[in-house]
Amino acid sequence: MRRALAQLPEGAGDADVLDAAWQAEGLGTLLWALGRLELPPYDLAFDHDALLAATLDGATLRPAAEIDQARQTARLWLWRARTSSLQEAGGGVTLPERWQSFDQLIAATAMRAHEQGLLPRPLRGDFPAFGTVYRELSPELRSEAESIAWERHRGLNWLAARSGSASPSWGRNRSPAERPATSTRHEAGSRDGRPSRG
């Protein structure tokens, strides 16, 4: 990874370099779980220099509840990215009966997650990202936000699976706004759904 990160930004056209650079988000998340780094907001990637300078000396795993909360937050940001993709694709998506539109579902999810301490305060009924609302992001910024969420979610899911706290039965057919407030279920990520990096 160190070699891949050293090749940026010139090597950004190389798929292997780009993939390794994005996997740094997962590494940063694991270093956060060990108390070695702070977790940046979901519209800001980990600083590569800080990643490479981090040591494991004196590292201790954060409490399980704190890690689970971070995992729920990552899942929400990934859900928002996927929802954006569904909206962009248009037609063919049936919302649960109680929601009139994607915007209504997103607003309810953002507010509920904020009330649970999982997200920053919503901005005009949406997740705040890059100084604006998520729905107004350019395709490039949406791709960046999705990549950050994907890699962090993957790292936290790996950690949860290693600790035995992962539950693969996360309700796939319900929005985060419809799940019980005490839910700790998650959606297992797969490489097939991996966001594009470009």
Angle between helices 15-33 and 64-89 (to 10 degrees): 140
SS3 percent helix, strand, coil of the chain, rounded to 5, is 55, 5, 45
**Total residues belonging to the chain:** 198
- Positive or negative, the CA dihedral 118, 110, 28, 39 is negative
Beta carbons of 107 and 125 less than 8 angstroms apart: yes
Q: What angle do CA 166, 168, 104 make, to 5 degrees?
A: 105
- pTM score, two decimals? 0.77
Looking up tokens 């966001």, which residue turns up? 195
Dump pLDDT digits (tens) for 1-29.
556 555 555 655 667 766 777 788 999 99
Percent pLDDT > 70 in the chain is 73
Task: Say yes or no to pLDDT of 179 above 60.
Answer: no
Task: Say yes or no to pLDDT of 115 above 70.
Answer: yes
**Which pLDDT band, with edges at 50, 70 and 90, does 165 fall under?**
low
What is the average pLDDT across 111-134?
Answer: 97
